[in-house]
């Protein structure tokens, strides 16, 4: 019997796979109160917990389950776990670092159960779970204090330790992929990759998905029209920095809408020895920080990526909903996936 990695590798060769949309945007629709974020054990927790969306996997799993279901019904092949801020580092703001493993484990189990339900219902369209690993709220390359540029709020080792705990929880909960996303500081991402490699070695999981390993996806964030990450790297430099790991895919998400993302995606499509992913925001935010771009307008902008054969995985980030994912899924079905350049397969990457 084939394992899920083999099924995923076969699927990505045949078609453009659809990733889900924004979790936070969907959670906002529920107008939740402080009580929704509290489990019985946290009834007397001294800090406010409202806004700690990852915690909802423990306190309101029904909501997270429903959001996963809506994205799968919209046509998503891959759903992300509700763990963007699931490290002990990010949870420290709420004094909940001790719950980091449980948040990742329970989030992965929730997503796994819903994905399996859809896979059983439609065996010809298997669904997969990506363990979402966000950038944390600390940066290893930049000082948070303009008066002390040499200061760092976090070390590489602290990041790696927190990421390793998150990876263990996600794997124990049953994810099919690990997705390190919204990377604004490549040193943070390198700590995440180091942690993943460490945990894989500890568990005898091959690093290369072609050898049966749990595939790793990487997605960076170009923060503005300068074409650089927050820590100052161009798209090409970012690609070089993470190419030492046999990744399933490299891509870009967040910060920009589809139209603005296009030139940077082109760099990846032309140079990456891996599959390429993109999940842009629903346009740029308006003056109130909200996203106005509708599903059809976003799909029209993404069409150009697909015409040029730039993508293998497509989804949505901030402001996107099941309506956006449905429009993207229908459109992507008309196009063939990007082929990894033969030069990489034959000679190895020059990047």
Show binding-site residues for Zn(2+): 254, 317-318
**Rounded-to-integer distance, Cα 215 and Cα 20, Å:** 17
Tally Cβ neighbours within 10 Å of residue 216.
28
- Count Cα atoms within 13 angstroms, Cβ side, for 173: 35
Tokens of 145: 């204090």
Which residue positions form the known binding site?
A: 254, 317-318
The beta-carbon contacts of 206-209 under 8 Å, at least 24 apart in sequence, are 207/245, 207/246, 208/246, 209/5, 209/8, 209/9, 209/246, 209/248
**CB neighbour list of residue 336: distance below 8 Å, 6 or more residues apart:** 15, 16, 309
Q: In what order do the strands lie in the sheet with 313-314?
A: 17-18, 313-314, 275-281, 249-257, 216-220, 177-183, 128-133, 78-80
Query: Where do we find the tokens 């298997």?
Result: 126
**CB neighbour list of residue 117: distance below 8 Å, 6 or more residues apart:** none
Strand partners, 277: 251, 313
**Rounded-to-integer distance, Cα 260 and Cα 297, Å:** 14
Tally Cβ neighbours within 10 Å of residue 109.
19
Q: Where are the alpha helices (DSSP H) in 174-294?
A: 186-202, 235-242, 258-271
Strand partners, 313: 17, 277
Assess contact for 191 and 140: CB atoms under 8 A.
yes
């Amino acid at each position: 019997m084939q394992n899920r990695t083999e099924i995923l590798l076969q699927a990505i060769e045949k078609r453009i796979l659809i990733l889900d949309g924004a979790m936070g945007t969907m959670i906002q629709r529920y107008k939740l109160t402080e009580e929704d974020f509290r489990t019985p054990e946290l009834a007397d927790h001294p800090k406010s917990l409202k806004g700690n969306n990852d915690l909802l996997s423990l306190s309101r799993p029904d909501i997270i389950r429903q959001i996963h279901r809506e994205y799968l019904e919209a046509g998503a092949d891959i759903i992300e776990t509700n763990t963007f801020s699931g490290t002990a580092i990010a949870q420290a703001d709420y004094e909940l670092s001790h719950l980091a493993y449980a948040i990742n484990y329970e989030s992965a189990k929730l997503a796994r159960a819903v994905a399996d339900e859809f896979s059983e219902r439609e065996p010809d369209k298997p669904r997969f779970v990506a363990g979402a690993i966000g950038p944390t709220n600390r940066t290893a390359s930049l000082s948070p204090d303009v008066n002390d540029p040499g200061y760092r709020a976090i070390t590489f080792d602290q990041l790696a330790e927190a990421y390793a705990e998150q990876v263990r929880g996600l794997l124990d909960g049953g994810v099919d992929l690990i997705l390190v996303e919204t990377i604004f500081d490549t040193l943070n991402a390198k700590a995440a990759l180091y942690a993943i490699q460490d945990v894989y070695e500890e568990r005898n999981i091959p690093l290369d998905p072609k050898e049966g390993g749990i595939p790793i996806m990487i997605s960076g964030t170009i923060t503005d029209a300068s074409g650089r990450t927050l820590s100052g790297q161009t798209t090409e430099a970012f690609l070089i920095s993470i190419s030492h790991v046999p990744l399933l895919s490299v891509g870009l998400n967040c910060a920009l809408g589809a139209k603005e993302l296009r030139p940077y995606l082109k760099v990846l499509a032309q140079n990456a020895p891996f599959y390429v992913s993109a999940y842009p925001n629903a346009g740029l935010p308006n003056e109130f920080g909200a996203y106005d771009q509708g599903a059809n307008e976003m799909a029209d902008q993404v069409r150009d990526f697909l015409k040029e054969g730039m993508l293998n995985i497509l989804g949505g980030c901030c402001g996107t909903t099941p309506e956006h994912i449905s429009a993207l899924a229908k459109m992507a079905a008309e196009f063939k996936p990007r082929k990894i350049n033969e030069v990489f397969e034959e000679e190895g990457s020059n990047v």
